[in-house]
A and B are shown apart, each in its own frame.
Chain A
Amino acid sequence: MATARTPDITLYTAQTPNGIKISIALEELGIPYKVHKIEISKDVQKEPWFLEINPNGRIPAITDTFTDGQKIRLFESGSILEYLAEQYDTEYKISYPRGTREYYETRNWLYFMNAGVGPMQGQANHFNRYAPERIEYGVKRYTNETRRLYGVLNKQLSTSTSGFIVGDHISIVDIAHWGWIASAGWAGVDIDEFPHLKAWEERLAARPGVEKGRHVPDRHTIKETLKDKKLQEKISNEARTWVQRGMAEDAKK
């Protein structure tokens, strides 16, 4: 039930496609929030205090206070987006009324993102950028799957009269996808192959809420990075070191 109330949101986040889903949603809703930057390269997300908020040790996560004064801790970007829509989107700016066709369709595409595009594009990043050795097959498998998923989105958008993935306005589904699609090149996918998706990405980027939300907690620089080969290598090399270290430490537990 949407209830007008005072938010007390702290967003625990880092500059990643999953993190900016939440800051963009909050900006689109126009509600205030505090930002707590998590240094994922230093494994802060695996520290005990953070595991109290998200037992899975991943960003993003939020805390909020409900009308009864109880604290709530939320994790998984999809679950957080649904919470924000349900609790604060009384005017249906980024969601649709419960029980409507668009409400259920939103869910289809939200899971498509979170169980499909996110994990697969993430694996493409891993094999393209962070793996300790070059495994050609791994690169191809996940880049191709990401391209296939982009094709599904491109087709959906080609028949959309509003220019958004579901219904007649922007929704949490568009917001959830944007950061991933904007960094297509990092996963080795050429966005020019998907003209409807490319136009959608640019349409969203032009929105003030997206512009503001994408620079949380740090500047969103992926598009500039993708134009600079040398910088890409430098970032990949740095990230590879801590990704490998983090995996080795996880394995010890």
Chain B
Amino acid sequence: MAISSLKPVKIYIHGPSPNPWKVIIILEELGIPWESESVPETGLKTEPFISLNPNGRTPALIDPNNDGTTLWESGAIIDYLIDVYDKDHTLQYTSFPEKHITRCWEHFQMSGQGPYMGQKGFFMYFHPEKLPSAIERYDKETRRIIGVVDAHLSKQGTPYLVGDKVTYADLMFVPYFKLFLPVICPDLNTKEWPKFDAWQEKLVARSSVQTVLAKIQVEKEKKKLPGK
């Protein structure tokens, strides 16, 4: 299907919450038209949304160009978009072993970066009582994850996680690192990890990411959340 003739896909977001924006970066990169609907906290675990995602979390996506295919979990949605719409392989490798290595980093984002940074945010801002050992646990894990990326980029000597080409896996790390990190670790200076820092800068400079960051800012202002 030619991208220009596509109907907009529908993406369900939850204000500035990071996971749906990973998907939107990919939509922007691939030039797929999209429209979003922000689901309020009270609407996540009830109909109609719970029928779109039985887990009651954003994002979920409906693709009217493909019999209304409905997907949830940001990683699964991104795999679908790459599979169906990245026909020119702009954000993926088809070669071995790069194709499989990209997935390693995608899963590391999904099961490592997202959940643990999320817990740090929770104990910093949403939990009514200060629990220093819980905050410390997730602060250490956040720093460890940054260190893993930095050490990998140093060792490989490449600008991106997999070789010289940007992939969907690189882009998936952006919302948590660029927007969430300064909020949950206000004292952290990413310059301590120079390769990591340079990698983030390169990703943030992309027009898709710039577009998305501006839209997230709008959502943040609506919710008056902590952080710039």
Contacts and interface: CB of A to CB of B under 8 A. Distances in A.
A111 B119 contact: no
Interface stretch (A129-137, A217-225, A228-236): A129-137
Interface residues of A, number: 48
B69 A104 contact: yes
Interface string A71-100: 011111111001100000000000000110
Contacts of B73: 107-108, 111-112, 115
Contacts of B107: 76-79, 114
Contacts of B76: 104, 107-108, 110-111
Given A107-B75, A133-B133, A135-B131, A74 B55 contact: no
B140 interface: yes
Nearest to A114: B111
B206 interface: no
A111 B140 contact: no
A46 to B, nearest CB: 11
Interface stretch (B95-103, B182-190, B207-215): B95-103
Interface string A113-142: 011101110010010000111010110000
In this complex, the member of A108, A116, A132, A156 whose beta carbon has the largest number of chain B beta carbons within 10 angstroms is A108
Given A66-B96, A104-B80, A253 B144 contact: yes
Interface string A32-70: 000000000000000000010001110000000010101
Contact of A70 (B96, B116, B147): B96
A132 B131 CA distance: 13
A155 B56 CA distance: 13
Contacts of A51: 151
A152 B131 CA distance: 29
A246 to B, nearest CB: 11
B133 A132 contact: yes
A149 interface: yes
B131 A250 contact: no
B37 interface: no
B204 interface: no
A206 interface: no
A78 B127 contact: no
A4 interface: no
Nearest to A116: B55
Contacts of B119: 123
B114 A115 contact: yes
A74 B131 contact: no
Contact of A137 (B56, B75, B104, B129): B129
A62 to B, nearest CB: 10
Given A70-B96, A76-B111, A120-B115, A250 B144 contact: yes
A83 B103 contact: yes
B115 A79 contact: no
A207 B25 CA distance: 42
A73 to B, nearest CB: 8
A70 B97 contact: yes
Given A70-B96, A108-B72, A76 B115 contact: no
Interface of B: 54-56, 69, 71-76, 79-80, 83, 96-97, 100-101, 103-104, 106-108, 110-112, 114-116, 119, 127, 129, 131, 133-134, 137, 140, 143-144, 147-148, 151-152, 155
14 contacts: A72-B96, A72-B101, A76-B104, A79-B104, A104-B80, A107-B73, A107-B76, A115-B75, A116-B115, A119-B116, A135-B134, A138-B134, A247-B140, A253-B147
| Closest 5 A/B residue pairs (Cβ) | A76-B107, A107-B76, A111-B73, A119-B115, A72-B97
